[in-house]
Amino acid sequence: MFLFACLLIVNRSFSQNAKFHIYLCLGQSNMEGNAKFEPQDTTVNTRFRVLEALDCDNLNRKKGQWYTAIPPLSRCKTGLTPADYFGREMISHLPEDVTVGVINVAIGGCKIELFDKNIFENYKTTAPNWMKGMIDQYDGNPYSRLVELAKIAQKDGFIKGILLHQGESNTGDTLWTKKVKIVYDNLLNDLNLKAESTPLLAGEVVNADQDGKCASMNKIIAMLPQTIPNAHIISSAGCPDIADNLHFSAEGYRILGRRYATKMLEILPKN
Where in the sequence numbering do the catalytic residues fall? 29, 244, 247
The 3-state DSSP composition of the chain as helix, strand, coil percent (nearest 5) reads 45, 15, 40
CB 169 within 8 A of CB 108: no
Q: Report the DSSP pairing between strands 158-165 and 99-106.
A: unpaired
CB 73 within 8 A of CB 81: yes
Of 173, 183, 248, nearest in space to 217 by CA: 173
CA pseudo-torsion sign 251, 257, 260, 265: negative
What is the DSSP secondary-structure string of 1-41?
Answer: -HHHHHHHHHHHHHHS-TTEEEEEEEESHHHH--BPP-GGG
The kind and range of the H/E element at 67 are strand 66-68
CA distances from residue 36 to 33, 40, 79, 144, 266 in whole angstroms, order as listed: 8, 11, 5, 28, 30
